[in-house]
Amino acid sequence: MSRTAVIPRKAAHRKAAHRKAAPRRTRPGPMKLRTVLLTAVGWQYLFATSLVANVPVMVLFVFMERHLVAGLTAGGVRG
């Protein structure tokens, strides 16, 4: 006669539900940065997006620079 325990179905299900998940492996900051930089990144798309976002700001600055400087100098005068 063997000594194997017979586990009812419901108990076996509960036992499986309480298993812990495998721990996540984390990396130190420099290694993570290296991984990010070496992975395939569409740098051309990143550059194009930053250019599209920054050009309107630069154009606005060129046209508004005169007013910006006048306002700063007028606010810096005492009296």
List, for residues 37-65, the tens digit of each pLDDT value.
777 778 889 899 999 999 999 999 999 99
10 within a domain of the structure (yes/no)? no
47 is written with which tokens?
């550059």
Distance CA 30, CA 28 (A): 6
36 within a domain of the structure (yes/no)? no
1 within a domain of the structure (yes/no)? no
* Buried b / exposed e along 25-52 (16+ C-beta atoms within 10 A): eeeeeeeeeeeeeeeeeeeeeeeeeeee
User: Quick one: pLDDT at residue 65?
Assistant: 93
Number of domains in the chain: 1
53 within a domain of the structure (yes/no)? yes
- Listed residue (18, 36, 14, 19) closest to 27, CA to CA: 36
11 within a domain of the structure (yes/no)? no
pLDDT greater than 60 at residue 14: no
pLDDT greater than 80 at residue 18: no
Look up the domain containing 64 and give its range. Answer: 42-79
19 within a domain of the structure (yes/no)? no
